[in-house]
Structure 1
Amino acid sequence: MARRFIHFAFFLVLSLCAGIAGAARQPIVLTDVAGRTITLKAPATRVVLAQARHFPVLALLHPDPVSILAGWSDEFKTSFTNDYEQYRKVFPAIARIPVVGRHTPDTFSVESTLGLRPDLVLLTSAFAGIGPGMKPEDSPLIRAFESAGVPVAVIDFFMDPLKNTEISLDLLGKALGREERAQSVLAIYRERMARIRSRLDASPKERPPVFVHAHAGSTDCCNSPGVGTFNDMITFAGGHNIGSDVIRNATGQIGFEYINSRNPVVYVATGTGGAKRTRSGLSIGAGVDEQTARDSLRKVVASQGLGALAAVRSGNAHGIWHGFNDSPLHVVFIEALAHWIDPELFHDVSAQQTLDELNAFLPIPMQGTFMVSLSESPGRGSQSDKAAEAATQ
């Protein structure tokens, strides 16, 4: 009887092990933002990132994002210099990731990518050339990888971020075997976005005019978003983008006379450069201290003759990191703008607190100043007492 029990127990253990192994071998089925179905045999460990600007998104989900990259563009290294150096100190292998192109489709090498034996290639809809009225199969890049039997997924945080961010994060979590972590990030994103939406729905008001000065100071006055990404985010935050009334592209130029005639209640300058890289534009982002960011904001306002704007005179003038726009971190931009537009309705909304919470997921937290106000003292444009003093990590 005892021997029979032992045989049964042994058979049960083998059956459980076989079941676990079988479950582990289950394919991973994904749906990307283009509506395509992608099947992976296992979580991806050799990823090629066509646009390395999305490396920080992978870092939100994976504790060692460098270890899963088989190749990438040179964009993170050249355009996010301070961030790259911070990662290089902790993950020296980042310097050895093969480069398969710059950040544009015409420089991207399919041959080099295939030579790296990737188990997943990540493209964006813009990079893949999937425009309005186009089908995914019309993309030469997608066709090339599918013909070679290499899984390729389309993600998007820029073309239609309010629709595609959740889809993209969900896909990446499953593809990398980090689904639980992805859902934790999504929970923060969804809660913050729902709070903005529900309060505006419950308290409908006329949308006040907002001027977002894109890449402020780097061009003649003044570069502004027209239709598309930034316009959608400004609308979501409760404002009206004055650039959208005259610019029919994603960005364009508007003059001071027009800006002043629209009397924007909020002025927001955006920038990406660190202190060592930016001479005339807004210095904000990784490695930039609060005073440097504020001083550069003052210089932009003065050099481009914007001091006469009512928003500037009233103290409702701010600077924010442009890099929030092509990332799930656009929720930080939206929260900051919502508070600047209506500090009473969003009195308890702190974009800095949200950034801190998301920062906790990163293996190397973002360190620097990512939001700053022209006025040092709390006022109409402050982000609560904590964030009114600017966002220095």
Structure 2
Amino acid sequence: MNISSYFKKFLHSSQSSGIILILCVAISLLIANSSLGESYQNLLDKKIGTDLFHLKYPLSIWINDGLMAIFFLLVGLEIKREMVEGELSNFKSASLPIVAALGGMVVPALIYFLFNHGTDDAKGWAIPMATDIAFSLAIISMLGKRVPLSVKIFLAALAIVDDLGAILVIALFYTDQIHWDYLGLSALMVAILIGFNFFKFKKHIFYIIPGLFLWYFMHHSGIHATIAGVLLAFTIPTNISTTEISPLEKLEQQLHLPVNFLIMPIFALANTNITFKDGMVDGLFTNLGFGIILGLFLGKVIGINLFSWIFIKLKISSLPDNSSWNQMIGAGLLAGIGFTMSIFIALLSFRGQQEIQDAAKFAILVASVISGFAGYSLLRYVSKKQKQK
């Protein structure tokens, strides 16, 4: 199995920053439920920027749409490298995360729909479809060598395909209006970036400047701006040489530290400020709560492994190297950590309905905690059993 040293560094950094990330979640929850909660929310709602070119947004938007685009840029770079010369470089390995992500979107949405069809809450059907790539990777990375690198790569690829699917769903079903002029300008930026790659431009500046414009146009088009990071990543040139460092590899090295130890902790602090209220626990035992919790906790692992099993049996795909179905189940459970994108979809689904939004956010938090704990515990248990054998 050929796994790049850059992906190993990425996973090592994720493992080191995982504890910091979870600590930031705890701090954010404590602040949100203390006397500082209102001031903290006001800070996140404070608009920053300039009205010139319509670049004045709340701080939370700059974090979720701006800083997260950099995170998606790094993950996109890692996935591209593995597609060129690593674990995802052959069709059988590369196809598995795609079909698994599809199953992990379809089954949770179906479970939610079964609980909520015919009600006003039915419009939240996409809430349990999403996987939080940051938290799922942080947890699996904390397991270190107990989990094969191929399984970690599988989860990373699955999560990014899943998030791209969620972004597409948002664009098609939860966007009030798509601005086609800005979308056209986004396509023009992508074409320019592809041209620079084709003519072998190697300096990062030729990609970063159009990438900034791509983010701006994508953001104003109505489609979630973080997709700009992935599109930019796939245009950065790389090679299969073991002696010459490519522009892609250089950028990876430069992004590891700020992404894992600055961007992700800030992201966690900004997105876990859920204020606990009376009656929220009761909301878990409603059709809305069941749809979200069972969709994320059961729907994800069932959908991912069912679709994977079908395509492996058809010999279209293959299991990750040195992995087992128990480890695939563990990865599927970790994919049930919906969190950020799920919360984002919940806010879009129930605009102006604060009480339902809060109930959905709490259900997402509970489902994500259960999924994360179950996935971590199963993968750790499987590792112990393998050592005993």
Asked if these proteins are the same fold (TM beyond 0.5), I'd say no
* Structure with the greater alpha carbon radius of gyration: 1
- TM-score (structure 2 length as normaliser): 0.25
Higher strand share: 1
Bigger relative contact order (CA 8 A; separation at least 6): 2
